[in-house]
Amino acid sequence: AQTVTQSQPEMSVQEAETVTLSCTYDTSESDYYLFWYKQPPSRQMILVIRQEAYKQQNATENRFSVNFQKAAKSFSLKISDSQLGDAAMYFCAYVLYGGATNKLIFGTGTLLAVQP
Amino acid sequence: NAGVTQTPKFRVLKTGQSMTLLCAQDMNHEYMYWYRQDPGMGLRLIHYSVGEGTTAKGEVPDGYNVSRLKKQNFLLGLESAAPSQTSVYFCASSYWASSRYEQYFGPGTRLTVT
């Protein structure tokens, strides 16, 4: 069974600094997608970035980028130039490509605090 | 286009009471999901549906039932609420298009069982 692990329950970063959130996953499949979701205090789940496993190039969305290491089954999120609005819970998630159920499997989350 | 909506947003129940949470999506998605979110445990899948008229159990289905009579609606029922069901509940829908996957979430329902 696939699993997703986020080993950092809480992280803190100074405003304008860079922070990296860790995620590892376990799967025997070769074709899948990985995601980072942000959940601010409003509770709304917001997609931050996605990575297709078949792509070697790391995904980037403005200040957010990932370091995808397929062999190591690692998928970390880097937030550059951190802003107060980045303070939130961040979830890493996995979905199998072409699966019958399209179920997302989530990690337990990392709570990010941004210090002014 | 409202996306995924959930009703109600907040609810307080007494132990043993029943209630139904309604999820609606206007994106014509086949797949729909119900999750619960508890501190330190992330989002756990309760039940899901791969199409109208079909449902299946997820990771934590006990104490819940679901129905998908219409493609756009996915209902989550609690027949006899227990304090252990105090949680935040999220509904979601998903699609694949041109090898691109996205799952959309509702705003969540905070349920307290006393």
Q: What is the DSSP string of chain A?
A: --EEE---SEEEEETTS-EEE--EEE-S-S-EEEEEEEE-TT---EEEEEEETT--SPPEETTEEEEEETTTTEEEEEE-S--GGG-EEEEEEEEETT-SS---EE---EEEEEE-
* Contact check, Cβ <8 Å, A97/B108: no
Give the tens place of pLDDT for each residue, A10-39. Answer: 999 999 999 999 999 999 988 899 999 999
Average pLDDT score over residue span B33-50: 93
Name the closest residue on chain A to residue B9, using Cα atoms.
A43
Q: Is the CB of A111 inside 8 Å of chain B's CB atoms?
A: no
- How far the first Cα of chain B sits from its last, in Å, is 36
Q: Is the CB of B60 inside 8 Å of chain A's CB atoms?
A: no
Q: Which residues of B touch A96 (CB under 8 A)?
A: none
pLDDT reported for residue A49: 96
**What does the alpha-carbon distance between residue A13 and residue A34 come to, in Å, rounded to a whole number?**
24
* Contact check, Cβ <8 Å, B42/A52: no
Q: Which residues of A touch B90 (CB under 8 A)?
A: 45
Instruction: Using pLDDT thresholds of 50, 70 and 90, give the confidence band for residue A50.
Output: very high
B2 pLDDT above the threshold of 90: no
B44 pLDDT above the threshold of 80: yes
pLDDT reported for residue B1: 67
Q: Which residues of A touch B101 (CB under 8 A)?
A: 33, 50, 95, 97, 102
A52 pLDDT above the threshold of 70: yes
B39 pLDDT above the threshold of 90: no
A77 pLDDT above the threshold of 70: yes
The number of residues in chain B equals 114
pLDDT reported for residue A97: 83
Give the tens place of pLDDT for each residue, B20-32. Answer: 999 999 999 999 9
Out of A33, A103, A109, closest to residue B42 by CB = A109
* Contact check, Cβ <8 Å, A107/B42: yes
Give the tens place of pLDDT for each residue, B59-110. Answer: 999 999 999 999 999 999 999 999 999 999 999 999 877 677 889 999 999 9
Q: At CB < 8 A and 24+ separation, what contacts does B16-21 make?
A: B16/B80, B16/B81, B17/B80, B17/B81, B18/B77, B18/B78, B18/B79, B18/B80, B18/B81, B19/B77, B19/B78, B19/B81, B19/B111, B20/B75, B20/B76, B20/B77, B20/B78, B21/B75, B21/B76, B21/B77, B21/B89, B21/B91, B21/B109, B21/B111
* Coil, strand or helix at B84: helix
* Contact check, Cβ <8 Å, A106/B42: yes
* CA distance to A44, A69, A95, B13, B34, per residue, from A98 (Å): 27, 21, 9, 40, 21
